């Protein structure tokens, strides 16, 4: 692979799903379960897909939470980008992207915890989940996404 910096960013959505107590959903990825890192639901936007539709699809796939159980409180005005670290460049997403450009949403979860089903989609992405204090989010995520999580927290803090 020649100039990886010329690769595009993968269009993506992210969801800060918060419960009625102001805690945020985080999951531990199955493919990275020994890392100790947790992340909020996120995933790619399909070609021609509306970001709101993608957000609901990704949320349902990764957590089992359907649209009827959430209300969208806010969508960030501008997407956030992150670059993959050198050791992952050219390996993830078929080597087609240098990182992700994420449109973030804040959504309130109105259902019972029992409505969360990590096995709703096959294969599942998360092996564990928990509700976390939003202020802890930047400390829970992989280092190369910390800046994004800080920006998301700053943007949504007053609505959580």
pLDDT of residue 4: 67
Query: What's the CATH code of the domain at 14?
Result: 3.90.79.10
Return phi, psi of residue 62, to 5°. -90, -25
Which residues form the domain of 99? 4-159
Which residue stretches of the chain have pLDDT < 50? 1
Q: How many domains does the chain have?
A: 1
- For 14, the enclosing helix (H) or strand (E) is strand 9-18
Residues 61-98: tens digit of each pLDDT: 999 999 999 999 999 999 999 998 888 877 778 788 98
């Amino acid at each position: 692979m020649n100039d990886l910096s010329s690769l595009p960013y993968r269009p993506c959505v992210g969801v800060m799903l918060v419960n009625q107590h102001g805690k945020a959903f985080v999951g531990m990825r199955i493919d990275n379960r020994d890392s100790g890192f947790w992340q909020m639901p996120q995933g790619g936007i399909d070609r021609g897909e509306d970001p709101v539709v993608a957000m609901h699809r990704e949320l349902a796939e990764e957590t089992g939470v359907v649209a009827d159980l959430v209300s969208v409180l806010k969508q960030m005005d501008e997407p956030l980008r992150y670059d993959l670290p050198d050791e992952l460049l050219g390996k993830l997403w078929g080597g087609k992207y240098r990182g992700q450009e994420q449109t973030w949403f804040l959504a309130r979860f109105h259902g019972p915890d029992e409505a969360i089903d990590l096995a709703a989609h096959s294969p599942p992405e998360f092996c564990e989940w928990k509700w976390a204090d939003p202020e802890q989010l930047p400390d829970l995520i992989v280092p190369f996404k910390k800046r994004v999580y800080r920006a998301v927290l700053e943007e949504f803090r007053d609505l959580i």
